């Protein structure tokens, strides 16, 4: 590990003495470390604001604190610029296969409903709005300025984004996580925890539901069941299309996020391969969308 980083973590004022520090795998926006002091275990997340991705660490910390207060995320122990320290949760980090298990999906949905409904009253910070279509527009601008290798694709992608936004129609607003990768859920055997609030902000609940479905490749029946359970009734044709539009937008956002990361991230990760993977998934989803809603 980098000696300067280890020294920085060891000198944090929240420690009472010597600590053991180990790098955690994963993390394509932050650097994450497990810190042990006696019988206590913590996660230290290192990361500065990322303009290219509209990430602010003050927002992440505020969302983390509020999520702890409503009982869905670990305690925030220490915050300073570029550093967030939370309690370590010992448990199973979910995979997409875990999410697809119906009994786990039920727990995930219950947690999401709590998060969406209870976060606004607890969140104390600037009320950031995460509207995926504006994020896509921002990414387009970043990619053009950065002379991205993907710039020739951008006009078509933005035309698609405009159609998807129109098809989404009116939405209600809750407080969303907005990055529901499977690895952001940890099951300790007694309860399910939600972590990583880099992109948290007010949004339509449809985005989190669509994001969950797209990131974890839920079946069509599972998507129907998710909407029915969340809203208390089977989805209307309009709500189903809105969710499918958001699903395509979610995949496009992940694709363009990776395109931006290709030219701006210093973290060691194969972003080019990640872009190709997500672009293929987006193309498949949008082709299916066009076939299903061709008469719209």
- pLDDT score for 273: 97
- pLDDT score for 165: 98
Query: Class of the 3-87 domain?
Result: alpha beta
Domain ranges for the chain, please list them: 3-87, 92-292
- pLDDT score for 266: 85
Q: Tens digits of per-residue pLDDT, 188-245?
A: 999 999 999 999 999 999 999 999 999 999 999 999 999 999 999 999 999 999 999 9
Residues of the chain with pLDDT under 50: none
Query: 259 with 246: CB under 8 angstroms?
Result: no
Q: Running DSSP on this structure, what letter comes out for residue 127?
A: -
- pLDDT score for 234: 97
* Domain 92-292: homologous superfamily in CATH: Aminoglycoside phosphotransferase (APH), C-terminal lobe (3.90.1200.10)
pTM: 0.94
SS3 256: helix
- pLDDT score for 28: 73
Which residues are CB-neighbours of 180 under 8 A, at least 6 positions away?
112, 208, 211, 212, 215, 216
Alpha-helix runs per DSSP H in 184-232: 205-215, 220-231
- pLDDT score for 267: 84
- pLDDT score for 284: 97
């Amino acid at each position: 590990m980098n000696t300067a980083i280890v020294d920085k973590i060891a000198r944090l004022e929240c420690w009472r003495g010597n600590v053991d520090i180990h790098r955690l795998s994963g993390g394509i926006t932050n650097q994450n470390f497990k810190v042990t002091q006696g019988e206590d275990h913590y996660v230290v997340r290192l990361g500065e604001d990322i303009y290219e991705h509209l990430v602010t660490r003050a927002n992440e910390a505020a969302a983390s604190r509020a999520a702890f207060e409503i009982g869905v995320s670990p305690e925030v122990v220490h915050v300073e610029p570029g550093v967030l320290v939370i309690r370590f949760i010992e448990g199973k980090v979910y995979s997409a296969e875990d999410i697809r298990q119906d009994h786990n999906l039920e727990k995930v949905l219950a947690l999401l409903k709590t998060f969406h409904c209870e976060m606004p009253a607890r969140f104390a910070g600037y009320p950031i709005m995460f509207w995926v279509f504006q994020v896509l527009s921002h990414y387009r601008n970043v990619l053009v300025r950065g002379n991205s290798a993907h710039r020739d694709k951008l006009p078509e992608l933005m035309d698609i984004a405009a159609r998807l936004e129109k098809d989404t129609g009116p939405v209600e607003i809750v407080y969303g996580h907005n990055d529901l990768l499977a690895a952001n859920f940890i099951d300790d055997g007694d309860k399910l925890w939600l972590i990583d609030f880099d992109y948290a902000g007010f949004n339509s609940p449809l985005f989190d539901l669509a994001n969950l479905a797209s990131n974890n490749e839920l079946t069509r029946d599972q998507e129907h069941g998710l909407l029915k359970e969340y809203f208390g009734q089977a989805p209307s044709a309009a709500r189903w299309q809105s969710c499918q539009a958001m699903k395509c937008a979610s995949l496009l956002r992940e694709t363009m996020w990776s395109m931006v990361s290709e030219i701006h991230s210093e973290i060691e990760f194969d972003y080019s391969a990640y872009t190709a993977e997500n672009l293929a998934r987006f193309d498949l989803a949008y082709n299916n969308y066009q076939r299903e809603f061709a008469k719209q």
